[in-house]
Amino acid sequence: MLPPLADLLASARVVSLPMHTRFRGVDTREALLFEGPEGWAEFSPFLEYEDAEAATWLAAAIDFAWRSQPAPLRERIGVNATIPAIEAARVAEVLARFAGCRTAKVKVAEPGQTLADDVARVRAVREAMGPEGRIRVDANGAWNVDEAEHAVHALNEFDLEYVEQPCATVPELAELRTRVKYMGIPVAADESIRKSSDPLAVAREKAADLLVIKAQPLGGITHALQIITAAGLPVVVSSALDTAIGLSQGAALAAALPTLDYDCGLGTASLFLDDVADLRPVEGSIPAGRVTPDAAALTRLAADDDRRDWWLDRLSRCYETLTAR
């Protein structure tokens, strides 16, 4: 049962967060926040998503704002640093923003860049973190199987924790996993879970060693937990470049898991110059409680009127999509 649309619109605030470094092709991150009986929630599907996909993000936000969530099993969540596809010379500067993080996720396979750029970036991370740091790379499905195998060979010297979504399709992931298994580098699936009509295909086809799970794209914590249980694979809970409000939803998901063997991708507040609340990592972790936006920050970061209208219209359309399901 959905709450009335008027209840969502009544508290809706649209914000635009500036970023330290361009990431996913943007240098600001827009989000719509609203408050329900349980607290604040975030609706922030990426701009290019059609309403059918974006509506699932709205379902997640409504679930978080209107329904109680599973009891937390831990108070803090270990998180990783996130290194965008930057020049190797800037790696130390970016790492310094992630206080105490001993794991880093490094973006690779950026359009317009080369494998040599990726190798240089990952090498710089290894040099900055030392031999005890954990490094994972994320290709966002950009490689074919041969390219991915070549890249994994080239990056293997840096002792990777895992490679995330190296190829776009489940069959490609399965083939690559077979090819690189002898190197001991696990394969993680992200887009093959959150953008798939069959998120369990990865586990069924033995195409990955672990799953990267994001609460918003999967329709909320309850549905994400159902997928995790059915898949039976280790999990890394990650963000979708969320504000502090969305990060708190991811943290609630991570806190509800019986086991959490990996640092989570929930430290991305450090990618922003400003946020609606401060959820940057402290000693490599963030708290697992709900977050309330700062009133002054909501005013300071308010989006322009035309962007606000765009988001409110999108919210209304996605709400209608949900009512038709």
Residues annotated as part of the active site: 107, 214
Helix and strand element counts for the chain (H, E)? 12, 12
Alpha helices in 78-183 (DSSP H): 91-95, 115-129, 145-155, 170-180
Is 149 annotated as belonging to a binding site?
A: no
Give the integer Cα–Cα distance in Å for 324 and 320.
Answer: 6
3 vs 11, 63, 137, CA distance in Å?
13, 10, 40
- Specify the pairing of strand 187-189 against strand 160-164: parallel
190 carries a ligand binding annotation: yes
Please state at what angle helix 145-155 crosses helix 115-129, rounded to 10 degrees: 30
Sheet holding 13-23, edge to edge: 13-23, 26-36, 39-43
For residues 51 and 54, what is the distance between their CA atoms, to the nearest angstrom? Answer: 5
Cβ neighbours around 262 below 10 Å, total: 22
Q: Which residues of 117-136 are buried (b: 16+ CB within 10 A; e: fewer)?
A: bbbebbebbbebbeeebbbb
Q: Which two tokens stand for residue 295?
A: 């009133």
138 is in an annotated binding site: yes
Binding residue positions: 138, 164, 190
Binding residue positions for Mg(2+): 138, 164, 190
